[in-house]
């Protein structure tokens, strides 16, 4: 039986598309559901085009009642019976209870070289600091925000004249290499680190 993978998104879903395509091409896992918390998440239509079931559980109506939102989320997730949950640009902070429920099954991609730049605005913060390399990390989701075990990182150069947008685009390019590479290993229980060095390093 192939592992069942659910992908959670909030936006355009380019990482989700790369994961789904990689699973469909490699046949190592089944993308059983793409779930968004925003009706305007462009990734929902892309997932449907790829033949993946979609679901929408809007967080906004729950207005700060995180536990009620997560109860709805958990119910839908449980019915999909996932072996692995991939967060791919899912912009919600999760409670400890939710994380405990799915512990050991959750991966997230974060656009920085963790433990640097946890949280938001990672590209701007990297530019403000004048760092010369930047990148992304895939990590297990734990109770500490962006603090779970790091399973893979991809590094890109910061170039003269970069803006947050140009840097974000360069990082996104390697996110699309890193996330499927880590997932392919994770489905076999392999948690050894994956490192990718983008061009020009």
Active-site residue set: 110
Count of beta carbons in the 10 Å neighbourhood of residue 125 = 17
Residue 41 DSSP label: -
CA 164 to CA 119: how far, in whole Å? 15
Question: How many helices and strands, by DSSP H and E, does the chain display?
Answer: 6, 8
Interaction between residue 135 and ligand GRF (CB under 6 A): no
- Toward ligand GRF, which CB reaches closer, 15 or 59? 15
Instruction: Name which position in 44, 88, 94, 106 contacts ligand GRF (CB under 6 A).
Output: 88
The C-alpha angle 37, 39, 42, rounded to 5 degrees, equals: 95
In the numeric block, the tokens 């392999």 are attached to: 190
What are the angstrom distances between the C-alpha of 74 and each of 18, 50, 51, 143?
24, 24, 23, 16
Interaction between residue 109 and ligand GRF (CB under 6 A): yes
Site string for ligand GRF, 16-35 (x = CB under 6 A): x-------------------
Residue nearest to ligand GRF (CB): 89
Q: Which region among 11-19, 47-55, 72-80, 150-158 touches ligand GRF (by CB under 6 A)?
A: 11-19
CA 79 to CA 60: how far, in whole Å? 22
- Toward ligand GRF, which CB reaches closer, 68 or 169? 169
- Toward ligand GRF, which CB reaches closer, 46 or 105? 46
Interaction between residue 54 and ligand GRF (CB under 6 A): no
Residues that bind ligand GRF (CB under 6 A): 9, 11-16, 43, 88-89, 109-111, 136, 172, 175
């Amino acid at each position: 039986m192939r592992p069942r993978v659910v992908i959670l998104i909030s936006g355009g879903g380019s990482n989700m598309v790369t994961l789904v395509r990689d699973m469909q091409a490699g046949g190592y896992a089944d993308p059983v559901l793409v779930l968004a918390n925003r009706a305007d998440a462009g990734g929902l239509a892309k997932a449907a085009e790829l033949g993946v079931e979609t679901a929408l559980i809007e967080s906004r109506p729950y207005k700060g009642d995180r536990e009620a939102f997560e109860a709805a989320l958990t119910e839908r997730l449980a019915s999909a019976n996932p072996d692995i949950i991939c967060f791919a640009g899912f912009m919600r902070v999760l409670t400890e209870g939710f994380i405990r429920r799915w512990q050991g099954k959750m991966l997230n991609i974060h656009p920085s070289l963790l433990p640097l730049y946890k949280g938001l605005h990672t590209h701007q913060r990297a530019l403000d600091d004048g760092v010369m390399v930047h990148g992304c990390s895939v990590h297990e989701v734990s109770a500490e925000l962006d603090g779970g075990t790091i399973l893979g990182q991809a590094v890109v150069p910061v170039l003269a004249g970069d803006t947050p947008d140009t840097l974000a685009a360069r990082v996104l390019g390697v996110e699309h290499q890193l996330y499927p590479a880590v997932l392919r290993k994770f489905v076999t229980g392999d948690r050894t680190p994956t490192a990718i060095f983008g061009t020009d390093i």
